[in-house]
Every structure is written in C-alpha cells, then in structure tokens.
Amino acid sequence: MEVFSVKFKTTEELPEPSPRLIDQVIGQDEAVKVVLSAVKNKRHVLLLGDPGVGKSMIVKAVGEILEEFDNFTPYTIIAKPNLKNPEKPIVELIDGEYKEDTKDEKISIPTQPPSLLTLFLIMIAFTVISSWLLRGLPESKMLATIAIVAIVGSLIAFVSIFLGVLGATKSSMPNAVNPVDLKPVILYECKKRPLVRASAYNVTKLLGDVKHCPLGGRPPLGTPPHKRIILGAIHEAHKGILYVDEIKTMPLEVQDYILTALQDKQLQISGRNPNSSGATVETNPIPCDFILIMSGNMDDVHNLRAPLLDRIDYKIVLKNKMDNTLENRDKLLQFIIQEIRNNNLNPMTYEACCEIVKLAQLLAGSRDKLTLRLRKLSNIIKMANDIAIGRDIEEIKNNVEGEEYKNIENNGKKVYITAEHVRKIIESGIYSMSKQVALEYLRNFKRYKHIVPNDEPKVGIIYGLAVLGEDGLGDVTKIITQIIDSKSPATHLLNISGDLAKHSITLASALSKKLVAEGKLPLPKKDIDLTSKEIYIQFSQSYSKIDGDSATAAACLSIISALLEIPLKQDFAITGSLDLSGNILAVGGINEKVNAAKEYGFKRVIIPEANMIDVIDTGGIEIIPVRTLDELIPLVFDLKK
C-alpha cells in the first residue's frame, strides 16, 4: 500500500504549505464551512470537540480573512468625565480616529467656597482678640474699632481661604479636580475588524471593570473614574468576533451578562470588586455588537444555560478522526509540513512521516482511521525534533532550554527527524501524562503481577486485557474465580472498580450460570446445585481505575471453568465484551491490548472479530478473531484430562 501519493525522501522536497491559516486546517471541512457562513451572516456559533482538533485554529483562520467579508469603519471608544455625576463617567463610541477637542480643556473648574460656619468662627475670634487688646478704651470707641477690625479680618480670611482652596486643589486633596483629568481618554482604537479571544472564567477580561483608586499606588490618588475604566472583551469585539473558549469554566452570572449583551448589543461597565472604590462607578451602556463563537469539549455544553444556548445559531461538533484513505494521509502529510514550517523544525524523512501516520492510526484506535487530535501529533513532532537535535528524553521532560540546540545545522551537517526519533518519543510516553503514569505503574508492578504466560492449564484462571489511562497503554489482568459451597448463593466481585465493569461481570456471572445449568455448552456435562455455590471473582492486582466491559468474555470463561472444574489453557490473553445471547462484541483500545499480550509473551491473543479491522500491526503474535461463545469455548478449554 502506498502511504502517500507523492514520493519523497525528506519533506524538504515537498512544496511549501499555503501561508493562509484557513487552508491549513485539515479534516474539519464541514466546521470551517459553517463557521465561515456563520460569520458572513452574523450568526453565533458553538464549537464542540475533543481538545486539540482545531477549534481555536478555525476561529483564528476565519479571523485572518475577516476583512475580506465587507467594509469596516474603524472606530474609537473614549471615556469622558461626568461633571454632574462623577461616578457615572461617559463612554462614547466615535467613528474613525478621535481628535482632541480643545474645548474640553476649557471646562471651568468648580471650587468650593469657604463655608459660612468658617467665616462666622473667624469673626468671633477677631472680635474676642480685639476686645481684649482694646480693653482700656472708652466703650463707644472700643465697639466701633472692634466692628472695623472684625469686618477687615473677615475679608482677609475670606480671600486667604479662597486662595488656599485653589492651592490645595493643585496639590493632593482627594476630592479636588485637576484640569488635566478632565480630558477624555481613549479606551480603545479599533482599526480593523476585531477578533478578540477571552477565556470563559476571566470575568474582568470579558466584561470590563473599573479600577480601584487607592491611597497612593496605582492609579495615583485622585484619578477620576473615567480614567479607571477597563473595557471588556465584549466591547473590544464590537463589529467583530468574540471568541470564548473553555466554556466549562463560564460562571452563570457571566452567561447572563453575555446574554444581555447579545440581546441589547450594549452593556455598561461597573466595578466588579465590591470592596473597591471602583464598585460605585458605572458607565452608560457601551455598544458591543459582536458575533459570539464559543468552544469547549462535548460534555461542557451542560454548563451553558438554556437561554444562552438558545441564542447560538450553529452548534457544530468537530470530528476527532478521519478515514484512513490515501487522500487523508496526504492531508496528514500536509499537516506535518505545516508544523515543520510554522515551528521552524528540521525536515522529516519519509519513514518518519510513515511513523506519524501509524501513530495517527494508533491514537484513532483503528487501522481504518486517522486521529484528528492533531495538537498531540504536533507535540510529538516537536519533541522528535528535539531528539533529532540532540536533546535527550530527560532534558525534554524537564524542559531544559539549551542554546546549542537551537541550531538547525549540527556541525554543518543537515539534521533530519527520523523514524527512530519519532519512535523514541512514542515509547517514552512523554507526550502524555496518563501514558507516563501507566508506564510508571507497569515499571513498578509488572513483576509482582504473577502473570505466567503459557503455563499449564488451570481451573478458573484466565488472562484478560485492559488499557490503562486515557492515552492507552495495554496491560494484562489476571482473572481468578473460586467457587465455595455456601448456604447463601451470591457472586462477589473483588478488585473491580467502575460501575460498567461491575455490571458487565455480573452479566458474565449470570450468563455462565445459565449456560452451565442448561448444559448446552460444548463441554463435558456436570450436575451442579447452583443454589449452593458462592462465586468469588477477583481481578488480581488490577489497576484501580479500570472501567469497561471488555473483560466480560474472559470473566464468563473463568466462571464456567471454575463451576465445571475444567481447566483453561494459559497460552492466550483475551478481550471481548459479551451480550446475553453469547455474542462477542467489539471493544476499544485493541492495538494497545494486542501489544500488551505480545509484550507479556503470550502465544495467542483472542479478540472480537469486529475488531479485526482495527488491528494495525499483527507482527509476532497469533491473533484469533471470535464471534460467539460457542466458537470460543473449544479454543480455550483443555479437555485432555
């Protein structure tokens, strides 16, 4: 099978990718089309999908070509003081650039006249002092002199207080008004159609705020409210796109504000911190007519309130896999070249590109598919490049930045990313936390697991297969069934976590009891009083987080073996779900499981036939596909004895 439609030795020989981001998105044609049309028609969009499938990339790509849609008039948002009500500054949106209006500076400065009480007190003081000084004079002269002194004194006091107020205004009185502070300020100049990105949890960034005016510090004491306004992303996105990611984290209160903004196309800003002096400030409603694009994982949608969800016109689910066709492998090659160019990496050999295709199959869980979780692939390519330029796994893990590694040339020799480099990264599991945890677990516990492949046949013992962690590392689980005579018949599940696993083993137990009771199995018959048997099923040393139904067939065989006391062969590991009619059903993670059976040294691995299409690499182990229990039983029981 040819992997790509072009022949090449290294990616250097291949044409440069398109510089336009919109041409670089692969595998999400439908989503790109819908987002483009939504933006053209001013509709709101919700993008749902796995992490790293290109949600942000699509929005960015559309943002890049926003200008191509229609004419855009640049605008400026300014804030002015409100002299009548300083706590309600005025925010205005003006077309084009803001030209400073000289009139603004001539606003008369209101000053506070000295209060009547102050004047009265000063008059009394002058009267008392002068009457004491003139106590020797005749009464009539004294009164006249006191009156004159009091009037002159008051006048002097009045003038000096008035001048004092002016002086104080220019210095640091908190409520005083500085003429410069009356100038409007530019909050935002928008020259091209905006695309503003904000995380859903960042309330201030999304909705705007009014800064606190502390004693000292920043902003300086006395900064008037209009200079403390911070615009929100919703305002900066006016006439453009607001992209909100991580919707899971969006507080309900913020959803309400966004809903209001969508409905009214304007929203005021007020201080968000109730303990701050900004809390008393509120602007007039500020225009915010934007296209809303939100994104998140599939499950996150539950966090969105129904009214907001209702306002979203297009809800698109992005794909996480594509078919493994020649055309799509070529697209994957295009992706590789893009990543190399966009991240300034070394070229890749043909074999390394094939290794990436194989990895894309593995991550998709099937030979037939290619993953579209491309961020993960991109990270692996970057790390393989690190290996190519001489860093080792530990350095990459600890994120050591080495100057010498930045050189693309190594001693004048061209460096290529080879298949070996890619494999090193895959095997190290360094690209995934969950894979590293699983590797660490296996490194520590494998030798304690008492797994003896290809041993003598044994009653009640079978080897099942599991996948540890989200990013898949296969493991073998020993399943043991013991039967005890008892007055209370019951099935006990030991070491089995997860509801799905528990239900599936209960099903296996019921089915095996039924089959044994009916005596229709292709096995020697035995009379058993099932009402006096207590069944114990143990997943020996199983990884605590396993959940799933892929051990149902194994558990069923283990119980039948224990009930009938017929030994099971030990040269195989098995995976497969089971329905009540005895059909073996497909399971996930087949390649990781086959690989684990191989690594533990089993001769055979039994898998559901429906999963055969998923197997990428059969090398080294016999794979036996099965469809039903009837087909399975003759393969696994040892009937010699």
- Under rule CB under 6 A, residue 19 binds ligand ADP: no
Q: Beta strand pairing status for 490-494 and 533-540?
A: parallel
Residue 169 or 338: the one with the smaller Cβ distance to ligand ADP is 338
Told to check if 320 binds ligand ADP by CB under 6 A, we report no
Here's the x/- map for ligand ADP, 334-363, by CB under 6 A: it reads as -x---x------------------------
Using CB under 6 A as the binding rule, whether residue 26 contacts ligand ADP is answered as yes
Half-sphere exposure of 470 (CA within 13 A, CB side): 7
Q: What is the amino acid identity at position 353?
A: C
Q: Which stretch binds ligand ADP (CB under 6 A): 368-376, 410-418, 478-486, 631-639?
A: 368-376
Q: For residue 471, which of 592, 324, 321 has the smallest C-alpha distance? A: 592
Helix (H) or strand (E) holding 133: helix 116-133
CB of 521 to ligand ADP, least distance (A): 50
Burial 600-618 (b: 16+ CB within 10 A, else e): bebebbbbbbbbeebbbee
Binding range to ligand ADP, per CB under 6 A, among 236-244, 372-380, 562-570, 626-634: 372-380
For residue 54, the minimal CB distance to ligand ADP (Å) is 3
The residue (of 54 and 472) whose beta carbon lies closer to ligand ADP is 54
Residue nearest to ligand ADP (CB): 54
Minimal distance, residue 15 CB to ligand ADP, in Å: 17
Contacts of 512 (CB under 8 A, 6+ apart): 556, 557, 559, 560, 563
| Spatial separation of the C-alpha atoms in residues 74 and 67, rounded to whole Å | 12
Residue 86-125 contact track with ligand ADP, rule CB under 6 A, x = bound = ----------------------------------------
d(CA 111, CA 581): 93
Contacts (CB under 6 A) with ligand ADP, residues 602-641: none
- Per-residue contact track with ligand ADP, 390 to 429, x per CB under 6 A? ----------------------------------------
Phi, psi for 197 (deg, rounded to 5):
-110, 135
Query: In whole angstroms, what is the distance from residue 313 CA to residue 505 CA?
Result: 44
Contact call for residue 232 and ligand ADP (CB under 6 A): no
Cα distances (Å, whole numbers) of residue 454 to 127, 449, 462, 556, 570: 118, 15, 11, 20, 5
Residue of 550, 558, 561, 577 marked active site: 550
Q: Which is nearer to ligand ADP, 50 or 236 (CB)?
A: 50
Q: How far is the CB of 58 from ligand ADP (least distance, A)?
A: 7
- Within residues 47-76, the interface with ligand ADP by CB under 6 A covers 49, 51-57
Cβ 24 to ligand ADP, closest distance in Å? 6
In angstroms, rounded to a whole number, what is the distance separating the alpha carbons of residues 57 and 179? 47
605 contact partners, CB below 8 Å, separation of at least 6:
465, 572, 573, 574, 575, 593, 594, 597, 598, 621, 622, 623, 624
- Least Å distance, CB 372 to ligand ADP, is 6
Q: Which stretch binds ligand ADP (CB under 6 A): 45-53, 87-95, 350-358, 549-557?
A: 45-53
Contact range with ligand ADP by CB under 6 A, out of 25-33, 227-235, 421-429, 505-513? 25-33
H helical segments located in 300-392? 306-311, 326-342, 350-364, 374-388
Q: Is 374 in the site for ligand ADP (CB under 6 A)?
A: yes
Nearest to ligand ADP of 298, 639 (CB atom): 298
Active-site residue, 414 included = no
Tokens 């999304």 appear where? 206
Q: How many CB atoms lie within 10 A of CB 327?
A: 9
> Annotated catalytic, 593?
yes
Q: Which is nearer to ligand ADP, 294 or 480 (CB)?
A: 294
Establish if 242 lies at the interface with ligand ADP (CB under 6 A).
no
- Could you tell me the smallest distance in angstroms from the CB atom of residue 391 to ligand ADP? 21
Instruction: Please report which residue ranges of 25-109 form alpha helices under DSSP H.
Output: 29-40, 55-64
375 makes contact with ligand ADP (CB under 6 A): yes
Number of residues counted as binding ligand ADP (CB under 6 A): 19
d(C-alpha 631, C-alpha 583), whole Å = 10
Q: Does 371 participate in binding ligand ADP (rule CB under 6 A)?
A: no
Q: Does 28 bind ligand ADP (CB under 6 A)?
A: yes
Least distance from C-beta 196 to ligand ADP, angstroms? 16
Ramachandran area for residue 277 (φ above 0: left; ψ -120 to 50: alpha; else beta):
alpha
Choose, from 321, 435, 593, 598, the residue flagged as catalytic.
Answer: 593
**Which residues ranging from 377 to 396 are in contact with ligand ADP (CB under 6 A)?**
378
Residue with tokens 């102050």: 118
Give every CB contact of residue 209 below 8 A, 6+ residues apart in sequence: 229, 230, 232, 269, 271, 272, 273, 278
**Smallest separation, CB 245 to ligand ADP (Å):** 7
Residue of 10, 24, 385, 504 interacting with ligand ADP (CB under 6 A): 24
Please tell me the distance from the alpha carbon of residue 137 to that of residue 131, in angstroms, as a whole number: 10
Q: What count of residues does the chain have?
A: 641
Q: What is the binding site for ligand ADP (CB under 6 A)?
A: 24-28, 49, 51-57, 335, 339, 372, 374-375, 378
| Active site residues per annotation | 550, 593
